Amino acid sequence: MFLGRLTDKPIWAPKILTISDFFGHLDSTPIPDNITLVFKLHESYCKISEKDISIDDFLPLGEMLLNDFNDIDNYMANPREVFANLAAIKNMEMDYSHLTENQIEAIRSFWNTFDPERLSQQQTGFLSVWDKLGDLYNHFRASLTEQNMAYGGMITRSIAEKVRNDRSLDIPFKHVVFAGFNALNKCERTIFNYLKIQQKATFFWDYPQLLLTEKQDPSNPVMKVMHEGGLFMKQNIYDFPSPENWEDPFNTDAAEIVITAASNSLVQAGAVYDFLEQIATQKQSGTPDSEIPKVDLRTAVILADEQQLFPVLSSIPPQFSPINITLGYPLKSTPAFALAEILLAMQNNCRETREGKTWFYHRDVTALLQHQYILGILGQSALELSRRLIRYNSPFIEGGLLQENSLCSKIFRKAGDVNELTSYLMDILTLIYRYLRGSDNYNGNKLATIESGLRNGQSPVQGTLFEEISGQELASGDEDGKSAHIQNSSVGKELNDISAAGTEGNIGSLQQPSDIEELDVHGEKKALEMEFIYYLYTTVKRLSDILSKLPVQPNPTTWQSLFRKLAAFQSVPFNGEPLKGLQVMGLLETRALDFENLVIIGMNEGVFPKSSPPDSFIPYNLRKAFDLPVIDNQDAIFAYYFYRLIHRARKIRLVYSTTGAGAEEAEMSRFLQQLYYEYPGKIIMETPMQKVSVPAIKELYAEKDKSVMAQLSRFLENGQARLSPSAMSDYLECPLRFFYKHVARIREADSISEDLDPRIFGILFHRIMEQIYSPHKGKVVQKENIELWLRDKDKIREVMNSAFEEQVPFIRQSGSEFVDLQGKNILIYEILFRYVVRFLEMERDQAPFRLADLEEKVAIIHAVNEKLKVNLGGIIDRTDEKEGITRILDYKTGSASNSASRLEDLFTQEKHGDKKAIFQTLLYSYIKSVLAGHDSIEPGIIPITKIFDKNFSSSITIDKQPVIFGSVKAEFLERLNPVLEELFNPTIPFMQTRVEKNCNYCLFRQHCFKD
């Protein structure tokens, strides 16, 4: 742009290169990616150490070694001396010979695992690794040279050593201009110096005025120090001065700077929106139409944390179009990687039966069906499958039930070995790429388009189903006519042909969508998603290619671990069009660029600058001794990036978060603190006001209008419903809960229970006792009858197994093929078995007794007064007779009290919850007394969890006296009838309880704003 102003004649533009590309012109040795380099380093490590360490264990070690080798070469350190000193330091760190016996004993008393002798045995092998690092370095470099490969530092050192040894370089350019550099390593300085002497180079530095000013040293009033961002400045300017006629265009006008504190990432994104809206307003009111594109071009959104990309994209005002993204986005943070994790989890958790059927874990299936890609492709089918999971209510679901179409058959299948797992992931990723690539052409029938290809026998990545992208420009329009242009890059990057040999033969090729140019996020985001899919695909493919060359293939668990670790240091590079539109960039991408309007988000300590140094085996002091980069250099580099970026801007918004991980408070970057005190102009500190509306706390209630009274009429004399004792307990604890549950009939949200929860536990106990006692119903049960069960406990287990198959959904659905009783459920099964045995032992001691009925359904019409007659009813667990007394027994699997101080406690909101088992059993006793025609009924409660107590009794006591229903009937009805009158009184609404504990386990808490 600016070079074009120097002449009115056509000229060839100069070659513009990064420093690594420039070195590539001086030495053309190929540099493989880090994944390949780490695997090559692993081969050398195994040979030098003579240890067969797995690549899974070596990967983090290999990354650190590769970084250290790069630093040693870039800074031309003597590797033999570095590693010799490193081994000596490690040796001293592990030497405890200087400790006295008393010191060793004192340490051992504090640290129980401390054992100098054992440590020395373990450390002998460990130290041998340090002693061989020099050999590893040499072997690795020799191995790469033999294979015509190199890492970056190896190439720059080779070039620099040629210069240092007075050998000339073949420079393919007449002249080289180096612009905007800062932290030079020793190799770069050596090469720059050679070019300077040869008069083949010119140097331009870009240091802000603020960094040129010396500051007072706070620790020494006599000394002055340079700003940390200018750490390399003096040496650079001295060694490589700019031309004498060069004047650095400093910005003499103070910028308008606002520092904004945001409570979270969404508020940070909102600050971006506000800033851009201000810019848009200014350009509409004061900028000529011809200048509007330039205003966008001179505006940039900078992300200190790349993971803020999507919230920021969603917050950009629509008038900023196109938008160009230039940054490296972490692959592990992409939706594509999240999908891969779900697919791998689904493979790990699935199970196979002897019949060859595959069962998938419901949480994995649900997560997969809810993922944006799968939901987008399957559409209504995904929702139907989710509903099917709920209907089956099973933690595991058989794969055949999920394969309702060809696409689902591809997804819900078992991938066995590593080759199948690789093919499985690549097939699905390519299907999704195909969906994203052609979703505009599906005409509302995306799934049918994919299925047609699958039915014709095509692999999802073969033939016409997957169309290759090879150099042509693609434009996918949206309904508003906007488009996201994708064009293959022609500079610095070639498309890789990724042919894969899977289990079904060749799997075609998937090619990189391209650099992202003119991305209109308000129309389409598909270009981003395609880029994510592409890079994940390449990671899977690259791992497959590398592992295919190994003599032994890893198991799927190791493969997945490698895949995750490789993806951890992968970034998806977005390279936008720098001469058009609003720029969204990472910090590193802003080097040598200037903007008039800047908003930078994520300005937090630990993020900008990063608080941790790169992983390294070489300690700080040793790095300093050999002039290798240290954390101080990293801080200085970040400071330079920051101050250089803002020093020519006119309008700046700097945003940081006040909320850290969890409940921790985040800290603003120290660069903001420095700027606030050192910047000569005015800085505004602001906190966006967030509108938080707190609703006034009101008493909740439900009026009894005509529709509600119509529902209540179901419980009256001519109605079809009955008020059960448990429903009456709901009303006594909270009338509003009764309304939700029995009038509005709101049900708990459908979910899948994978454990034997208390409800199922209770159902099982009831059913087991029913099966054991059913043959004796209407008969006298003798001690001998119960002894038969106790002597044959296998028979008890048979009854239990039958009850489990009948009552537990995930066993009932699977039948004999697949029984999911394991872990916690096995423990519950055994606990239930113990309860059954203990209960039968108690019953034996109570025998003989006549078993009148089991699980008896009872109902009566209760006359509350002359006008109000109410249907009462329910199911009595057990009725028996002993010594002329009828007993009504209620099994309770939860905590249940069988004693009360006063009968009236059963009818108060404050105390009913603890006494509701007594109330319910007394109400059953009343119903039974009406049906039996007598009041000689003894109510009893059997809380299963208390049957092991030494003094256990099922009898109910009130005021410490055992209860025969006839003795309390009058008072019970005297208190029950007013409650029923209130329930059916249309003028008394269903009020929310004021007893907070009654809400603790209520299913309707959220309806009452308790959550």
pLDDT band of 61, cuts 50, 70, 90: confident
Taking residues 525-548, what's their average pLDDT? 86
Q: Could you tell me the two tokens for 368?
A: 């997969």
Buried b (16+ CB within 10 A) or exposed e, 596-609: bbbbbbbbbbebbb
> What is the pLDDT, as a whole number, of residue 219?
55
> What is the pLDDT, as a whole number, of residue 572?
84
| CATH fold group of domain 256-320+581-686 | Rossmann fold (3.40.50)
Q: Could you tell me the two tokens for 831?
A: 């606990």
Q: State how far the alpha carbon of 100 is from the alpha carbons of 90, 107, 803, in Å.
A: 21, 11, 68
Question: Is 801 buried (19+), middle (13-18) or exposed (0-12) by CB count in 10 A?
Answer: middle
Q: Which residue has the higher pLDDT, 128 or 989?
A: 989
Range in 67-71, 110-114, 329-333, 934-938 the model is least confident about = 110-114
The 10s digit of each residue's pLDDT in 18-46 is 999 999 999 999 998 887 898 899 999 99
C-alpha closest to that of 618 among 63, 48, 61, 64 = 64
Taking residues 446-473, what's their average pLDDT? 34
The 10s digit of each residue's pLDDT in 803-826 is 887 766 544 444 434 344 554 567
pLDDT band of 789, cuts 50, 70, 90: very high
> What is the pLDDT, as a whole number, of residue 487?
27
C-alpha closest to that of 136 among 51, 60, 47 = 47
Range in 83-92, 284-293, 612-621, 965-974 the model is least confident about = 284-293
Please state the φ and ψ torsions of residue 693, each to the nearest 5 degrees.
-95, 120
Taking residues 535-560, what's their average pLDDT? 84
**C-alpha angle 241-28-144 in degrees, rounded to nearest 5:** 115
Taking residues 180-207, what's their average pLDDT? 94
**C-alpha angle 57-63-67 in degrees, rounded to nearest 5:** 155
The 10s digit of each residue's pLDDT in 505-525 is 333 345 555 444 444 444 446
pLDDT band of 1000, cuts 50, 70, 90: confident
What one-letter code names the amino acid at 998? N
Q: Which residue has the higher pLDDT, 458 or 983?
A: 983
pLDDT band of 440, cuts 50, 70, 90: very low
> What is the pLDDT, as a whole number, of residue 100?
63
What one-letter code names the amino acid at 738? F
Q: State how far the alpha carbon of 476 is from the alpha carbons of 437, 473, 498, in Å.
A: 8, 10, 24
182-191, 319-328, 677-686, range with greatest mean pLDDT: 182-191
Contacts with 989 (C-beta within 8 Å, 6 or more apart), sequence order: 701, 702, 703, 704, 735
> What is the pLDDT, as a whole number, of residue 464?
25
Answer for the pair 291, 669: CB distance below 8 angstroms, yes or no.
no
Percent of the chain with pLDDT over 90: 37
How many Å apart are CA 416 and CA 440, to the nearest integer? 35
Range in 243-252, 378-387, 920-929 the model is least confident about = 243-252
Q: Could you tell me the two tokens for 359?
A: 């069962």
What one-letter code names the amino acid at 784? E
Q: Could you tell me the two tokens for 135?
A: 């050999």
For 787-792, the CB contacts below 8 A with 24+ separation are 787/844, 789/840, 790/837, 790/840, 790/841, 790/844
Answer for the pair 630, 624: CB distance below 8 angstroms, yes or no.
yes
**C-alpha angle 256-260-266 in degrees, rounded to nearest 5:** 130
> What is the pLDDT, as a whole number, of residue 874?
95
**DSSP state letter for 680:** S
The 10s digit of each residue's pLDDT in 916-975 is 999 999 999 999 999 999 989 999 998 888 888 878 888 999 999 999 999 999 999 999
Q: Count helices and strands (H / E) in the chain.
A: 36, 30
pLDDT band of 695, cuts 50, 70, 90: very low
Q: Is 815 left (phi over 0), alpha (psi -120 to 50) or beta?
A: left
> Helix axis angle, 556-568 relative to 335-349, nearest 10°?
160
Question: Is 934 buried (19+), middle (13-18) or exposed (0-12) by CB count in 10 A?
Answer: exposed
Q: Which residue has the higher pLDDT, 11 or 340?
A: 340
- pLDDT at residue 351 is higher than 50: yes
C-alpha closest to that of 870 among 989, 745, 704, 727 = 727
Q: Could you tell me the two tokens for 272?
A: 């971006």
Contacts with 246 (C-beta within 8 Å, 6 or more apart), sequence order: 204
How many Å apart are CA 605 and CA 39, to the nearest integer? 35
Site of tokens 């070079």: 3
> What is the pLDDT, as a whole number, of residue 485?
28
How many Å apart are CA 40 and CA 53, to the nearest integer? 14
Taking residues 151-159, what's their average pLDDT? 96
The 10s digit of each residue's pLDDT in 137-150 is 999 999 999 999 99
Percent of the chain with pLDDT over 70: 77
Taking residues 248-267, what's their average pLDDT? 81
Q: Are strands 961-962 and 990-991 parallel, antiparallel or unpaired?
A: unpaired
> What is the pLDDT, as a whole number, of residue 531?
87
The 10s digit of each residue's pLDDT in 832-876 is 899 999 999 999 998 999 999 999 999 999 999 999 999 999 999
How many Å apart are CA 62 and CA 630, to the nearest integer? 20
- pLDDT at residue 478 is higher than 60: no
- pLDDT at residue 548 is higher than 90: no
> What average pLDDT is seen over the chain?
79
Helix (H, G, I), strand (E, B) or coil at 659: strand
- Please report the DSSP string for 699-759 in residue order: --EE---HHHHHHHGGGBTTSS--B-HHHHHHHHH-HHHHIIIIIS---PPP----S--HH
Q: Which residue has the higher pLDDT, 451 or 896?
A: 896
How many Å apart are CA 447 and CA 460, to the nearest integer? 12
Residue 483: enclosing H or E segment and its boundaries? strand 483-487
Contacts with 236 (C-beta within 8 Å, 6 or more apart), sequence order: 181, 182, 184, 203, 205
Q: State how far the alpha carbon of 604 is from the alpha carbons of 260, 273, 303, 329, in Å.
A: 11, 20, 11, 19
> What is the pLDDT, as a whole number, of residue 361?
85
Q: Could you tell me the two tokens for 586?
A: 């990472």
Taking residues 747-758, what's their average pLDDT? 56
**DSSP state letter for 378:** H
Range in 92-106, 319-333, 899-913 the model is least confident about = 92-106
Q: Are strands 885-892 and 937-943 parallel, antiparallel or unpaired?
A: parallel
71-75, 130-134, 617-621, range with greatest mean pLDDT: 71-75
> Helix axis angle, 793-807 relative to 783-791, nearest 10°?
80
> What is the pLDDT, as a whole number, of residue 499?
28
Alpha helical stretches, state H, 50-185: 55-74, 79-93, 101-110, 116-131, 133-146, 152-164
How many Å apart are CA 828 and CA 812, to the nearest integer? 17
> What is the pLDDT, as a whole number, of residue 818?
39
Taking residues 292-317, what's their average pLDDT? 82
How many Å apart are CA 740 and CA 729, to the nearest integer? 14
Taking residues 393-416, what's their average pLDDT? 80
How many Å apart are CA 476 and CA 621, to the nearest integer? 56
In the sheet that holds 483-487, the strands lie side by side as: 474-477, 483-487, 515-516
> What is the pLDDT, as a whole number, of residue 142?
97
Task: Centre a 10 Å sphere on the Cβ of residue 105 and count the other Cβ atoms it contains.
Answer: 11
How many Å apart are CA 66 and CA 133, to the nearest integer? 12
How many Å apart are CA 223 and CA 127, to the nearest integer? 44
Buried b (16+ CB within 10 A) or exposed e, 637-648: bbbbbbbbbbbb
* CA 878 and chain centroid, separation: 50
Enumerate the CATH 3.40.50.300 domain ranges in the chain, comma separated: 256-320+581-686
- Please report the DSSP string for 976-1001 in residue order: HHHHHHHHT-TTS-EEPPS-GGGGTT
C-alpha closest to that of 862 among 728, 996, 987 = 728
> What is the pLDDT, as a whole number, of residue 938?
94
- pLDDT at residue 126 is higher than 50: no
Find out whether the peptide bond into 322 is cis, omega within 30 degrees of 0.
yes
How many Å apart are CA 592 and CA 339, to the nearest integer? 37
pLDDT band of 160, cuts 50, 70, 90: very high
> What is the pLDDT, as a whole number, of residue 546?
81
pLDDT band of 228, cuts 50, 70, 90: confident
Residue 375: enclosing H or E segment and its boundaries? helix 372-378
Answer for the pair 598, 646: CB distance below 8 angstroms, yes or no.
yes
Taking residues 225-250, what's their average pLDDT? 81
pLDDT band of 344, cuts 50, 70, 90: very high
Helix (H, G, I), strand (E, B) or coil at 819: coil
**CA pseudo-torsion sign 103, 109, 115, 119:** negative
Site of tokens 């808490």: 1005
